[in-house]
Structure 1
């Protein structure tokens, strides 16, 4: 007997799933959850509200696996990062534990951040925890109980208080504890001793221009750290995750551990897919400074090949909105590292995939499906599947030239993508069955976003 249930909402359009596309598809929504997905060619279910988006794409809302909402004190915060996310079709952000003045290394600090973020967030959010070098693994279990999505560590010491290095022997102890907790460890991948030596060497040579950054952080310094992290994971049984791989060799290393049966995963940031040193960092200088550095055009293309082959677990932004005075120094070493990206994560990835004839479902897999599984959110997030949150991005093809100040949804008035032609726009964004962006305005009020974690449950 045909199902005669009338759903709350029905969306018609070109549905993109993690493994296929339905050019004339539908998504039925009931009670804020996905109730049905299918091919509308021969008919579709009934609903109280039907919206036909024609040839526009209906995709799962993105989960940005790496954002920094509070890296600069009294700057962006969740009030803006989640606004930018909503405008970009990102329905969940995973925020890093390195807040200015407050390392999120115990349950008290974690719960404080969770409460404050909940008052501001316009999209759903998850939070990483971390360890203080003086405390080691002692606080990790309480962070898990508070709902940490996983743990972020660094092989490089950027700042002893805000962004400390966790040495290998201590990381090994942490990994053993995290393996028992069943969560993931995401690690910043740069060899501390080598990079610090090379920085001084490059400075001694009088080099301060854009190339000095790559010279002081060559690929081998990144890949040494990658191999170390995966080996620690292999020895402890911990799920070891590299949070920003910039080069082909790093992903090859990851795949070799996967082929040996280890749960090794890797993440590539938007800027590594869309920028290259000789074309972009050369003109952006400090605004193109990220760690690890943006590599050359050949490495960029190799990353797209790895995405096409399914070798990249997640694509993220590593989003941070530094004020312009922290990014505009002619001396490369005096600039802060990091860049914005939330508003363009989905549309720039689609633009790049189109240019290389890569199927959009492969982009979806790295922006939502894989990410939900990485963080154990797949019972409620990451896919257009029955029973999961109705988090949806509606995207249309409409080329335009991006400028950070034009939309009004970015905290900063600069972007490394200013002047970039983007072939796609987000027409609408839905979070748990509610429209939170209408193509022009963010409709979600602060506080409408929810905290999510591996402990989150959804009613069937």
Structure 2
């Protein structure tokens, strides 16, 4: 633990206004917020820049022991901390996280190698492994991944019982919601075309909306907290809003690629923008931005899932689906959301930090700048843009679909649990500063 730290000349966003403040950090926590200057072992000058609670990413594929060529805790957490993220929840990639042994392996890897706080989502939950949920919950797991579609589809007849089991441990069901029969119909219609654009056509907005409606009513019957992963369409958002007329315990996330790319970009970028759910239209993109601002979309998440070039440079149907997103997370949302006047600064902080903390049950310890909260803090550099390029990013892969994008809002300073990790835009910290958030959840 470092000594006391004073962040002076900070701008805090309070009641829709920026106010000047000095933030005193002691023993890893925020000890005081005031306009007074304090004596401290180290002084950080925020230079009048905005200070926010570190981003919390509830959906990032970071560490799979069988796919460490894609990403691992060291590369993923380093990319995350440069992207304004101070807490990562690792989502299952291919290996099932349905027993305490694999959970402990993931935690131990993160403990040694993560620059940020870490947690793990259980999955892929189905009828055969749903009895693992209580054991995982006792070990600090809050979120459990369920698929309604290939390749990890849970049978419809099992989902009500899965949801009841998750509800019994006060967990959250995170659902990849696409209707499998409609996906199969789309494959029959389009799979004969080796064109990346047709891949995006085959998983439709109707497939997303139909699956959301189905799992929404299942969740209502079981009184389960339901979180819809990676929302991609206006029709899917309409389904969510319809469900909320009957059931309030539904949260939704969207991701930067759905807020920027459309399926037409596949003509230019090919499989390097292959993702699932697929990219949709400009109208869908606009609806997602509006959903963030009006509160119908609660959370901003990465769905980070890169892979080596060799896995991307295949035919459109067998190429890897997923892209590197962690390093652009907060800067992208600040640049295209706040500076682009699509969302308010309040929404920016809410969807990137406080709402994810509330979903995980760790608010206000995380996701807030308040006395007593953990000092997971980012000072944003909003004056000088930084160019995104694979030649300097910290992901394990040597490519990015965000190549050449100029973004503001990169971290000028980042603290994780009161430990300085980034100083004046440069890495100064070491792996091991993060904590397992499951210990907070278990309390």
Asked if 1:74 corresponds to 2:68, the answer is yes
Partner residue in 1 for 2:20: 24
Give the structure 2 partner of residue 175 of structure 1: 163
Task: Say if 2:179 is the partner of 1:191.
Answer: yes
**Aligned equivalent of 2:324:** 340
Paired with 2:424 and 2:77, the residues of 1 have a C-alpha distance of: 15
Q: Secondary structure at the match of 2:286?
A: helix
Q: Can you list the C-alpha shifts for 1:366-400, whole angstroms capped at 9, x where unaligned?
A: 01100000011114211111111101111112123
**SS of residue paired to 1:182:** coil
Question: Within 5 A, what are the aligned runs for 1:97-112?
Answer: 97-99=92-94, 102-112=95-105
TM-score normalised by structure 2 residue count: 0.93
Equivalences for residues 61-460 of structure 1 within 5 A: 61-71=54-64, 73-75=67-69, 76-99=71-94, 102-131=95-124, 133=126, 135-158=128-151, 164-203=152-191, 206-278=192-264, 280-329=265-314, 331-353=315-337, 354-397=339-382, 398-407=384-393, 409-453=394-438, 455-456=440-441
Once residues 23 and 235 of structure 2 are traced to their aligned partners in structure 1, the CA distance between those partners, rounded to angstroms, is 39
Shift of the 256–37 alpha-carbon distance from structure 1 to 2, 3 Å rule, reads: farther
Compared with structure 1, are the counterparts of its residues 56 and 455 closer, same or farther at alpha carbon in structure 2 (3 Å cutoff)? closer
Q: Aligned equivalents of 1:199 and 1:130: distance in 2?
A: 26
Matched length: 437
Alpha carbons 2:125, 2:146 under 8 Å: kept: no
Identify which range, 122-131 or 398-407, moves more after superposition: 398-407
Aligned 8 A contact 1:376 1:454 in 2: no
Residues 240-290 of structure 1, C-alpha deviations (whole Å, 9 max, x = no match): 110110112222322333343420110101111122222x33211101011
Inter-partner Cα distance in structure 2 for 1:29 and 1:226: 43
CA contact (8 A) 2:127 2:159 kept: no
Residues 9 and 276 (structure 1), Cα distance of their counterparts in 2 relative to 1, 3 Å cut: same
Confirm or deny: 8 A CA contact 2:388 2:406 kept in the other structure: yes
For 1:21 and 1:246, how far apart are their aligned partners in 2? 32
Distance in 2 (alpha carbons) for counterparts of 1:9 and 1:314: 30
Q: Measure the CA separation in 1 of the matches of 2:41 and 2:125.
A: 52
Provide the rounded CA distance (Å) in 2 between the counterparts of 1:249 and 1:23. Answer: 39
Measured in 2, the distance between the counterparts of 1:28 and 1:456 equals 26
Residue of structure 2 equivalent to 1:10: 7
Q: Deviations over 1:326-349 (max 9, x none)?
A: 1123x3112111111111100000
CA displacement 1:383-423 (0-9 Å, x = unmatched): 1111111011111121233212124x221111110011213
Q: CA 1:10 to 1:393, structure 2 compared with 1: closer, same or farther past 3 Å?
A: closer
Measure how far apart 1:8 and its partner are. Answer: 4.1
Query: Could you tell which deviates more after superposition, 342-351 or 259-268?
Result: 259-268
Q: RMSD between aligned alpha carbons?
A: 2.1
Q: Quick check: 374-383 or 70-79, which moved more? A: 70-79
Residues 419 and 7 of structure 1: CA distance in aligned 2, closer, same or farther (over 3 Å): closer
Question: What is the deviation of 1:10?
Answer: 3.2
Summarize the Cα distance change of 1:115–1:190 in structure 2 as closer, same or farther, 3 Å threshold. Answer: same
| Structure 1: gaps (5+ residues) | 1-5, 159-163
Q: Which runs of 5+ in 2 are unaligned?
A: none
- Name the CA distance, whole Å, in 2 between partners of 1:400 and 1:447: 27
CA–CA distance in structure 2, aligned partners of residues 325 and 307 of structure 1: 35
Deviation at 1:65, TM superposition (A): 1.0
Against the structure 1 CA distance between its residues 402 and 131, is the aligned structure 2 distance closer, same or farther, given a 3 Å change threshold?
closer
Q: Does the 8 Å CA contact 1:86/1:442 hold for their aligned counterparts?
A: no
Match of 2:33 in 1: 37
